[in-house]
Amino acid sequence: MFTGIIEAVGQVHEVSAAPGGMRLVVDAGALPLADVKIGDSVAVDGICLTVVAHTGTRLQFDVSRETLDCTAGFGPGAHVNLEKSLRLADRLGGHLVSGHVDGVGQVRRFDAAGDNRRLVVDAPAEIAKYIARKGSVGLNGVSLTVNAVEHTCFEVNLIPHTLVATTLHALAVGMKINIEVDTLARYAGRLSEFTDKSA
């Protein structure tokens, strides 16, 4: 589990084909790695990945085809949001994030609003129903509050700190973005499917 509070911005150093998917090498930048070991989970742009090798500031991950098919993917040189997995003693500053991306959205608007930015994302129809006004959503691993919802589009506000501390400042209209809906909304939706069928 994660909180959606980004600890550092890293950079994709290398991507290479591997059986069943790809091998991803990320330079973790300023992310503290003293307590990171092989087998640990790290969220990379909101995707929970397992560390398979660790050399200096570089972390290696095996990414399955399933993960690549349901996320925005990784390009060499791309900057990525990083967060180590949550410990029971940690403060929960964002919301509970599983690192299981539900789908890929598309940036519809990215407008200045004073020092902030107004971000409007178009979500896939199958997950848009789980996104509610004043609810939580994870975008490329960043915990955010939904300000407005209209059909499949939703709006969030990015404060200056978020813009500085994450990769979201580099978004532009048309770009793809990883979306993770709130875990409670996901389970409530699944439960309602069974309730509707039994009625």
Per-10-residue mean pLDDT, the chain, length 199: 94 95 97 96 98 97 95 95 84 81 97 97 95 95 97 98 97 98 76 66
- Residue 86: its pLDDT value, please? 85
Tokens of 50: 């397992």
* Pair 117, 107: CB distance under 8 Å: no
Q: Which amino acid is at 118?
A: R
Q: What number of helices (H) and strands (E) belong to the chain?
A: 4, 12
**Rounded Cα–Cα distance for residues 4 and 27 (Å):** 20
For the chain, first and last CA: distance in Å?
A: 34
Q: What residue spans define the domains of the chain?
A: 8-84, 103-198
- Fold classification of 103-198 is Elongation Factor Tu (Ef-tu); domain 3 (2.40.30)
* Pair 59, 25: CB distance under 8 Å: yes
Identical fold for domains 8-84 and 103-198, yes or no, is yes
- Residue 147: its pLDDT value, please? 97
Q: pTM for this structure?
A: 0.92
- Residue 89: its pLDDT value, please? 64
- Residue 117: its pLDDT value, please? 98
- Residue 196: its pLDDT value, please? 59
- Fold classification of 8-84 is Elongation Factor Tu (Ef-tu); domain 3 (2.40.30)
The stretches of the chain forming alpha helices (DSSP H) are 65-69, 125-128, 160-165, 183-198
Q: Which residues contact 81 (CB under 8 A, 6 or more apart)?
A: 6, 9, 43, 44, 45, 46, 140, 141, 142, 166, 167
**Cα separations in angstroms, 15 against 52, 73, 108:** 14, 10, 28
